[in-house]
Amino acid sequence: MKAQDIMVKNVICVDMDERLPNVRQIMETNGFHHLPVTEKDKLVGIISDRDLLRLISPFIDSASEQPRDLDTLNRAAHQVMTRQPITVKAETPVEEIVAWLKRVDISCLPVTDNEDHVIGIISWRDLVNHATF
């Protein structure tokens, strides 16, 4: 089995200048845990839900909210993303994908073509859903 057999193909990406409120809304609305970041349709980074939890103030929309809490929302995707994420190609064997996820302790891999366009994404959940026991 290869990446192309299990990857999610209709990937939503955000531009590197997208603001965090919109990034958060896209992730929450779609139930995503990862969102590829692009510049001129080429992958430049990835944002995880853990990145947002770590950076966005937990006091937003609460009685304790302060102006400095709102400032955490003014960041752009490129200020938060993991740059140069590890990627795989459509032909990459699943065994290699599993090895990357275990070795680097990441939970998803974007699938790119030879021009760094995002054509899919694979998370550990996709691997579990396609596992044959």
Exposed/middle/buried for residue 46 (C-beta within 10 Å: 0-12, 13-18, 19+)? buried
Q: Would you state the pLDDT for residue 58?
A: 66
Give the tens place of pLDDT for each residue, 57-92. 667 777 776 777 666 777 899 999 999 999 999 999
CA 23 from chain centre, in angstroms, equals: 10
Looking at residue 124, its amino acid is W
Order of strands across the sheet with 14-15? Answer: 14-15, 34-39, 42-48, 82-83
Q: Which CATH class is domain 3-129?
A: alpha beta
Among the listed residues 45, 11, 37, 8, the one whose alpha carbon sits nearest the alpha carbon of residue 127: 8
Give the tens place of pLDDT for each residue, 11-58. 999 999 999 989 999 999 999 999 999 999 999 999 999 988 887 766
Domain segments of the chain as ranges: 3-129
Predicted TM-score (pTM) of the model is: 0.86
Cα–Cα distance between 48 and 46 in angstroms, integer?
7
